[in-house]
Structure 1
């Protein structure tokens, strides 16, 4: 079996539209953050979420040391904040954080989660942190910042999903 070209793999994964998140923690008396799109919910009972951090990212050891992390799902228009935490600092940005469960979260985010590390899984060149959610908050009126094919964007033409999978199945049969 031939090896996949890493750039082709990355570009192909890039056609999966995702939200944009800032992962944060508090370690050694300082708040730390990084932009990521690798976030997902895992379980309702117990409430678990997961993030994926590259082995070369400075955030990896900070989360390992603190044993906690927070996720802020950025709102549409927060491009500058996403770039700031993606390694392109913007000195004009001020007063970015609120606190949730003792961790820094981005003020004005669509949703925020504070979690304690439940499990750590090494997967290739990344570490997946499964976190047990301790606190959360959401602004149900805000729209998320999206990432698609290497670009930021916003949702368009959103439609409410059917109330249940049964309703979807019924609609598809007709």
Structure 2
């Protein structure tokens, strides 16, 4: 099967968009991720999948904690910045949530502690326990068929 065909097929699954962030050597590192899911309520577990060629790949191997920001519909710019699709023009605002950096004004902010990592093809799947969270009002930023989308009215 051609990789492009598989990628196009998976793009037909609409997803929310997150930014995974961590404090690494006193600098916030982040990456846009749409491969995110809830795994368990007891304990509170989530999973993310990170490409082995991603700029943050080696950083996530080293750290024990990271934040996840589920983006609101007005955070397309932040998504593009951490997907390396746009240069930073104004500073991106992060806040601290239980010791992890998360994007200010994200729809949901999670502080996570790494539980395990599983190699899966060209990706690493991280399973993490959610230690704290904050929920804000708004609508999500979505990704479908290779482009950003918003909920219809």
The TM-score bracket by the shorter chain reads over 0.9
Structure 1 CA distance for aligned equivalents of residues 129 and 116 of structure 2: 9
User: 1:53–1:95: structure 2 CA closer, same or farther, 3 Å change rule?
Assistant: closer
Question: Which secondary structure does the structure 2 equivalent of 1:26 belong to?
Answer: strand
Relative contact order: is structure 1 or structure 2 higher (C-alpha 8 Å, sep ≥ 6)? 2
The one of 109, 121, 127 aligned to 2:124: 127
On the 8 A contact 1:80/1:90 being kept in 2, the answer is: no
Q: Report the alpha carbon displacement of residue 88 of structure 1 after superposing the two structures with TM.
A: 3.0
Question: Which secondary structure does the structure 2 equivalent of 1:62 belong to?
Answer: helix
CA RMSD of the aligned region, Å?
Answer: 1.1
TM-score between the two structures when normalised by the length of structure 2: 0.95
TM-score between the two structures when normalised by the length of structure 1: 0.84
2:41 corresponds to 1:44? yes
Larger radius of gyration: 1
Structure in which a larger fraction of residues adopt helix? 1
Question: Which secondary structure does the structure 1 equivalent of 2:56 belong to?
Answer: helix
Cα deviation code 1:39-61 (max 9, x no counterpart)? 00000000000000011112121
Structure in which a larger fraction of residues adopt strand? 2
Give the aligned length.
153
Cross-structure match for 2:20: 23
Matches within 5 A, 1:131-142: 131-139=128-136, 141-142=137-138
2:135 corresponds to 1:154? no
Matches within 5 A, 1:1-174: 4-139=1-136, 141-157=137-153
Structure 2, unaligned runs of 5 or more: none
